Structure 1
Amino acid sequence: MNRLPNLDPLRFFLASLVLLFHLPQLSRNQGLPYFDGFPLYHRGLEAVYMFFVLSGFLIIRIIYRAKLRDAFSIKDFYVRRVLRIFPLYYLVLGFGLLFYNVILPSLNIPFEINYTWKEAFFYNVFFLPNVFAKQFEPGGILEILWSIGIEEQFYLIIAPMLFFIKVKWVLRALGILFLLYFFIFWSDVFEVLRKYSFVFFYLFSGGIIAILEERKNLDFLKRWAIVPALICIATILYFTTDFFLMEPLWLRSLITCLLFSLFIHTIAFNNRGLELNNKLLNHFGSISYGIYMYHAIVLNAVVFLFLKMEMLQNINKILAIVLLHLLTFAGTLLVAHFSYVYFELYFLKLKNKFRS
């Protein structure tokens, strides 16, 4: 299956932003030197939101193209999603529960556990890690699983819905669903949706742009070279400045949906021949799921190393910050690479048997 250009490097960039977001937080909490002076260090949540838009863009595009061929299978769709997400998800979930409940106590490191094993099992096995993270604050390794839960919940909704809707009505149905859900999400009546970050509208927005492209409704954007340039500049400013930190929040979310969707469409379909066709970047993009899932584990290990080694505690502050960055990034890339090659790839190869 042909891969759209520039999306793998984008995945790597977004996963790196999440790592940069968490690194100074844990360093500060443990009394280590830290640096978070650039807006880029505060865009981890926004990076996850772009991941959601990208997921909606790709998943709905796949479903829509399969429906055009009358070849969409819900069973095959779910099997492919399970093979991609579950192995690593449950591996990190198991390690996280072991880490906070067994490993830290054995090292005499205090960490408050305010949930039972039954609660941990229920919320995380039944696709509600976002609720688990908000309710119990179980620790960073487990809390990052919230976004995987949002994706899992989205898959449970979108596949049967699109299966029963005629292909000619898919775009209209998604548009109505986006507007309706966006209004419900930001209304005071359904505050619980905001509390537990059920931000499905990001995924819907990505899907709408994908179908508009499939139907050639966005060809007008390709007529002027200034359009992709402006979209890319606006996206760069979004992550490197505070210009887009506007109120009210619903307006910021709406602008974010539009900008992120247009940016993904631009780099994939309206890039004017500019492609980041670099093998290393593409590989880092391929292992971005692992980068996201393992970075909190590696970060905890690096911070523990600094806390236990007297030599590292006595080095220059700037050097300590640089080392924290280098060791966390290098360690995360290494773990994600070996996980991909020797663990995830086995399940990914099985996915090919269930392609429409």
Structure 2
Amino acid sequence: MKHNYQLDAMRAIAALAIIAYHYTLFPCGWIGVQFFFVLSGFLISGIIIKNKKALPSKQTGAFFKDFYKRRVLRLFPLYFGYIGILALFNFFAGKPEAFDKEWPWLVTYSLNFRWLYQDYSFHMVYGHLWSLALEWQFYLIWPFFLWFVPQKRITPILLCLLPLSMLIRVLGYSVNEHLPYLVGYNGGATAKALAAYVLPFSHIDAFVFGALLCKVKVRRFLSRPQVIYSSMAMVVVTGLLLVALIPTYNLGAIGWPSNLPKAYQWIWGYSLLNFISAAIIAGIIEKGRARVLALSRSSLLQYLGKISYGIYVYHPIVIFGMLNVRNKVPQFTGKVIVELIIVISITIVIAHLSYEYFEKRFLTKRKPQPATNEFKPQVNKVPAERLTLELQEANN
């Protein structure tokens, strides 16, 4: 089985939706982050589960050493390189203003926790890195969880984690609401619901749905067009009902605003969005007949998905630059749309150059090394599906 380029296209769509959201033109575009969480859960879980079956227990240490080496080489160079760029801007231009205060949270992959503090100094050029911090926190725990849970109990435990994740969101909400130094204390509904959005424990169900996709029966069920369309319809109908019932909900977000602050949406809403993301991924893998997936065949989107990590990391600094020059251009019809197109175009160019001339230098070091006495993968015994998961993980 070869690399699934259609999943790359879905990465691109998610990344572009996030850019439009940050440019305030697509209020529900933040949902793209949920798709990334579920996709990461699928790719990482698949690698762990397949290697767990294929490798003898005595190779566990060597496997995890190689696994984290590959993760570090994929994630760290761009992440810390971007932080280095921000540090240079701060040193020479004094912007972003609060970088000298917030950098310890950035370099320790803990910005998502920092978001909850009342004295957090948000800036758009680094605020988006919370999601990368959350994913890394999962990478430190999730692989070991899957590896050491008995094979026969994985599915029942995963299913139990789905309702548990909702209970954890309730707990996080309660803590955020009652601790004086957190934003939820005497805060509004959006501030109180922030913990359910940024804490890693709150998104267990995203990684659970991803792990469940490793089971063929689950994928085949979720890939059915009726499942994909009915789940999408449920999201739209539910959102429209919330818009009709809640005055502060606007139609632009289709009833799915960031943080999901009202109607206890922060409890059940993420699970529904994760379910849809899983269904879309299943439909692509199983070559489902749902026509809504046809866009994923675009070669342009597939390439943009390949560099989507860079698109996500770099886009806020491009938006920040645009916001600082937009007022110098006279108003005209469709100006905001033109600005967004320019932002996307510049971001793509930067991400392309970053991928070709910076990130690739580290990706080439991830190629499989010749077998040694310490770690000898049993290639002949590994199912072909493992190769697909490893190739997808390379661009995750």
The TM-score with structure 2 as length reference comes to: 0.72
- Partner residue in 2 for 1:146: 130
Write the letter of the residue equivalent to 2:114: F
Judged with a 3 Å threshold, the aligned counterparts in structure 2 of structure 1 residues 190 and 286 are, in CA distance, closer, same or farther, namely: same
Determine if the alignment matches structure 1 residue 257 to structure 2 residue 269.
no
Aligned twin of 2:17: 17
**Paired residues of 1:291 and 1:336 also in contact (CA < 8 A):** yes
- Cross-structure match for 1:248: 264
* 1:30 matched residue in structure 2: none
1:141 aligned partner, one-letter code = V
Q: Which residue of 2 aligns with 1:226?
A: 226
Residues in 2 aligned to 1:104 and 1:260: alpha-carbon distance in whole angstroms: 40
Relative to structure 1, the CA distance from residue 240 to residue 65 in structure 2 (aligned partners, 3 Å threshold; closer, same or farther) is farther
Q: Select 1:80's aligned residue among 57, 67, 70.
A: 70
State how far apart, in whole Å, the 2-side matches of 1:53 and 1:195 are: 14
Q: Which 5+ residue runs of structure 1 have no aligned equivalent?
A: 25-35, 106-110
Q: Does 1:211 align with 2:193?
A: no
Of the candidates 132, 142, 162, which is equivalent to residue 114 of structure 2?
132
Which residue does 1:296 correspond to in 2?
A: 316
Q: 2:203 aligns with which of 176, 200, 204?
A: 200
SS across alignment from 2:367: helix
Distance of 1:10 and 1:234 partners within structure 2: 21
The reply to whether residue 305 of structure 1 matches residue 330 of structure 2 is no
1:187-234 per-position Cα deviation (integer Å, ceiling 9, x unaligned)? 355448537433332432333332333xx3454556x65344445666
Quote the offset at 1:170 in angstroms: 2.3
What is the aligned partner in structure 1 of residue 45 from structure 2?
60
User: Relative to structure 1, is the Cα distance of residues 333 and 260 closer, same or farther in structure 2, using a 3 angstrom cutoff?
Assistant: same
Partner of residue 351, structure 2: 336
Q: 1:133 to 1:99 in 2, by over 3 A?
A: farther
The letter of the residue matching 1:346 is R
What are the Cα deviations for residues 36-92 of structure 1, in whole angstroms up to 9, with x where unaligned? 3xxxx0123211111111111111112112212126621111111111111110011
Q: Which amino acid aligns with 1:128?
A: S
CA contact (8 A) 2:124 2:316 kept: yes
Aligned residues: CA RMSD: 3.0
Code of the residue aligned with 1:14 in structure 2: it is A
How far did residue 241 of structure 1 move? 6.2
Deviation at 1:319, TM superposition (A): 4.7
Counterpart contact for 1:83–1:351, Cα < 8 Å: yes
More deviation, 342-351/64-73 = 64-73
Q: How far does residue 131 in structure 1 lie from its aligned partner after superposition?
A: 2.4
Q: Which moved more, 1:1-10 or 1:324-333?
A: 1-10
Shift of 1:146: 0.3
- Quick one: structure 1 residues 7 and 180, their matched pair in 2 at CA, closer, same or farther if it must change by over 3 Å? same
Q: Give structure 2 stretches of 5+ with no counterpart.
A: 177-181, 183-194, 240-250, 370-374, 378-396
Task: State the shift of 1:242 in Å.
Answer: 1.5
- Give me the whole-angstrom Cα distance separating, in 2, the residues matched to 1:116 and 1:334: 29
Amino acid paired to 1:91: G
Q: Given that residues 235 and 263 in structure 1 are in contact (C-alpha distance below 8 angstroms), is that contact kept between their aligned partners in structure 2?
A: no
Deviations 1:235-273 (A, max 9, x none): 788798625677222122222222222222122225239
2:34 is matched with which residue? 49
Closer, same or farther in 2 for the Cα pair 1:235/1:285, shift >3 Å? Answer: farther
Query: Which range moved further: 138-147 or 316-325?
Result: 316-325
Query: Residues 219, 181 of structure 1: CA spacing in aligned structure 2 closer, same or farther, 3 A cutoff?
Result: closer
- Corresponding pairs, count: 325
Contact 2:82–2:313 (8 Å) recurs in 1: yes
State the partner residue of 2:333: 318
Q: SS at 2:354's partner residue?
A: helix
Deviation at 1:328, TM superposition (A): 0.4
Matches of 1:306 and 1:189, distance apart in 2: 41
Partner AA of 1:61 in structure 2: G
The structure 2 residue matched to 1:353, chosen from 321, 343, 368, is 368
Q: Distance in 1 between matches of 2:321 and 2:122?
A: 17
Contact residue 228 and residue 270 of structure 1 kept, 8 A: no
What's the TM-score once normalised by structure 1's chain length? Answer: 0.80
